[in-house]
């Protein structure tokens, strides 16, 4: 049976999937979706993917709307061995966390550039956006200093995601060979591979032309960035708390670095509770910059919480943590199914949380807590309302967000939705399914114990800061 891939070459997530189809020899029919012609907003497409994004993979009645979840699915279904996506739990976890790194850190930094130039018509790429890209290169350099590829010494599907984005980021900011030698070595090794030349390079070229033509429409050849003259046309190839001990009958205790304010932390704490994980909670006070100390950065260069430490395995993303906990400590597979199709449905909703829900909470809370904003911009409230709309559509099809059973995707989502609901109350008439799901999940013991207190603390801080002159 031939699978269908809805795609456009401009898109790095699409390119990652096309490379995987090539590598795994997937019998695929490619269907062009012209974003500039708004084909992704047509009702037939929205029916397949309410998020109106590309790529979408259709395999019989299974529709997957996230490139990372597609890569996992293709590797499990079509991979001839497990080298691209190891089956062994620890090795798989390392790949998962780098897929989430791409979804949460790399790709959004490219999107910001494309939006600013193509949608908002900015003549220059702002220094802030360039600094963000530079920081992303730095993260990559740190990873690649430890291992040959980003998730270990073997190439994996995480490299496919990352290369499609890094080659696109390099359009905006060439990679400095002196500062990032390992990154460049990794990149040069990959861009010479036939799958990259065939399925990544053409799209990078189209994206480069799109970005440049938008800058050129302002008759710009050079882009002045804080006194520097950066000739974008010249950019050719990509050189271009120590508090809780849950006693169980095992000697090894895991450590979870956490702060209750954080939705991803709360999701991980709920996972620990649901799976009875023997965990020591270690408090990381973000206000005191505990997450920026050298010891913490050594554990997690991304300086985020949560981090789960299990012996020598360190996991720096809540979604990858939930997957790991479910696989290792789940008594059955109900929270994270082993069936490949059901698993793909959960994976895509974990990425939905990583890419849509959490960023929309963070945009508001960071603006208030870190930047001292005194009101919430209407655009950010609209984004939250749109997220409610997506959830309503998902919950109109199934009782929980990834099917008829509660899964780890609901844990991720509930931590974010409860953090949004005090910023923009949910209109139960407009979003009845969402309201019913929220009410049910809020009453669960894991939610009462490990989500509610953090939501209340966050709400109190936000309200206090908004009310201060
Ligand atoms: N994708 C990550 C996001 C984690 C994240 O951004 N956590 C925030 C707190 S909500 C943080 O640690 N911010 C501090 C920083 O990044 O410096 C996950 O799901 O674990």
Q: For position 213, what pLDDT does the model report?
A: 82
- Is residue 276 a contact partner of residue 205, using CB atoms and an 8 Å limit? no
Confidence of residue 214 (pLDDT cuts 50, 70, 90): confident
Q: 149: which strand partners?
A: 152
Q: Please indicate, yes or no, if residue 436 is contained in any of the structural domains.
A: yes
Question: Among 5-9, 29-33, 231-235, which is the least confidently predicted range?
Answer: 231-235
Could you tell me if 205 and 107 lie in one domain? yes
SS3 call for 239: coil
Task: Provide, rounded to the nearest whole percent, the portion of the chain with pLDDT above 70.
Answer: 92
Does 421 fall in a domain?
yes
Q: Are residues 149 and 261 in the same domain?
A: no
Same domain, 70 and 150: no
* 261 and 180 within one domain: no
CA 189–ligand 1 middle distance (angstroms): 31
- Predicted TM-score of the model (pTM): 0.90
pLDDT the model gives residue 331: 93
- Same domain (yes/no): 313, 382: no
The pLDDT tens digits of the residues spanning 292-311 come to 999 999 999 999 999 999 99
Q: What is the rounded CA–CA span in Å between residue 361 and residue 417? A: 8
Q: Which pLDDT band, with edges at 50, 70 and 90, does 463 fall under?
A: very high
Does 442 fall in a domain?
A: yes
Q: Which of 261, 262, 324, 366 to mutate to test the pocket of ligand 1 (most atoms within 8 A of CB)?
A: 262
Kindly state whether residue 452 falls inside one of the protein's structural domains.
yes
Atom number in ligand 1 closest to CA 101: 1
DSSP 381-442: HHHHHHHHHHHHHHHHHSSBTTBSS--HHHHHHHHHHHHHHTTS---TTT-HHHHHHHHHHH
- Structural domain that includes position 259: 254-317
| Bridging pattern class, strands 254-258 and 279-283 | parallel
CB 99 within 8 A of CB 89: no
Same domain, 263 and 213: no
pLDDT of residue 216: 55
Residue 432 and residue 301 share a domain: no
* pLDDT of res. 212: 84
Domain membership of residue 249 (yes or no) is: no
> Which pLDDT score, from 0 to 100, does residue 286 have?
94
Residue 13 lies in a domain: yes
Hey, how many other C-beta atoms are within 10 angstroms of the C-beta on 137? 21
CATH code assigned at 63:
3.40.30.10
Q: Indicate if 104 and 73 belong to the same structural domain.
A: no
Same domain, 220 and 312: no
Statement: residue 240 has pLDDT above 80: no
Among 289, 300, 304, which residue has the most ligand 1 atoms within 8 Å of its CB, making it the best to mutate? 304
351/449 same-domain check: yes
By C-alpha distance, which of 378, 133, 369 is closest to 262?
369
- The reply to whether 230 and 122 lie within a common domain is yes
- What is the pLDDT averaged over residues 91-104? 98
Compute the average pLDDT of residues 219-239.
31
Flag whether 332 is in a domain. Answer: no
Domain holding 196: CATH number? 1.20.1050.10
Q: How many domains does the chain have?
A: 4
346 shares a domain with 216: no
**Average model confidence (pLDDT) across the chain:** 91
pLDDT tens profile 409-455 = 999 999 999 999 999 999 999 999 999 999 999 999 999 999 999 99
């Amino acid at each position: 049976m031939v699978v269908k891939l809805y795609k456009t070459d401009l898109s790095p997530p699409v390119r990652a999937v096309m490379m995987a189809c090539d590598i795994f020899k997937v019998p695929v029919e490619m269907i062009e979706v012209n974003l500039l012609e708004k084909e992704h907003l047509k009702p037939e497409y929205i029916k397949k993917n309410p998020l109106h994004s590309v790529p979408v993979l259709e395999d019989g009645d299974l529709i997957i709307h996230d490139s990372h979840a597609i890569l996992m699915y293709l590797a499990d279904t079509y991979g001839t061995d497990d080298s691209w996506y190891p089956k062994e739990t620890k090795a798989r976890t390392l790949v998962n966390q780098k897929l989430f790194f791409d979804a949460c850190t790399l790709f959004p930094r490219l999107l910001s550039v494309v939006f600013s130039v193509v949608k908002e018509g900015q003549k220059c790429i702002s220094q802030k956006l360039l600094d963000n890209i530079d920081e992303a290169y730095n993260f990559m350099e740190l990873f690649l200093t430890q291992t040959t590829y980003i998730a270990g010494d073997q190439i994996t599907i995480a490299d496919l995601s990352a290369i499609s984005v890094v080659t696109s980021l390099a359009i905006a900011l060439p990679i400095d060979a002196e500062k990032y030698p390992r990154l460049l070595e990794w990149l040069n090794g990959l861009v010479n591979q036939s799958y990259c030349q065939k399925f990544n390079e053409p799209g990078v070229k189209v994206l480069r032309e799109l970005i440049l033509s938008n800058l050129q429409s302002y008759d710009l050849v050079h882009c002045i960035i804080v006194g520097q003259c950066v000739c974008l046309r010249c950019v050719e190839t990509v050189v271009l708390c120590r508090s809780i001990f849950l006693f169980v009958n095992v000697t090894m205790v895991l450590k979870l670095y956490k702060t209750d304010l954080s939705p991803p932390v709360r999701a991980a704490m709920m996972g620990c509770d649901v799976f009875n994980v023997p965990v020591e909670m270690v408090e990381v006070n973000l206000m005191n910059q505990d997450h920026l100390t050298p010891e913490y950065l050594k554990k997690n260069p991304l300086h985020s919480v949560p981090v789960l430490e299990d012996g020598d395995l360190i996991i720096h993303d809540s979604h990858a943590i939930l997957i790991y906990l479910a696989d290792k400590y789940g008594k059955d597979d109900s929270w994270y199914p082993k069936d490949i199709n059901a698993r793909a449905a959960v994976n895509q909703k974990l990425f939905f949380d990583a890419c849509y829900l959490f960023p929309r909470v963070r945009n508001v809370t960071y603006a208030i807590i870190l930047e001292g904003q005194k009101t919430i911009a209407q655009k950010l409230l609209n984004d939250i309302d749109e997220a409610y709309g997506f959830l309503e559509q998902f919950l109109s099809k199934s009782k929980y967000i990834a099917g008829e059973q509660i899964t780890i995707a609901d844990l991720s989502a509930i931590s974010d939705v409860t953090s949004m609901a005090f910023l923009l109350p949910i209109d139960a008439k407009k979003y009845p399914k969402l309201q019913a799901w929220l009410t049910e999940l809020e009453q669960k013991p894991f939610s009462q114990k490990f989500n509610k207190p953090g939501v209340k603390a966050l709400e109190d801080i936000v309200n206090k800061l908004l009310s201060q002159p």
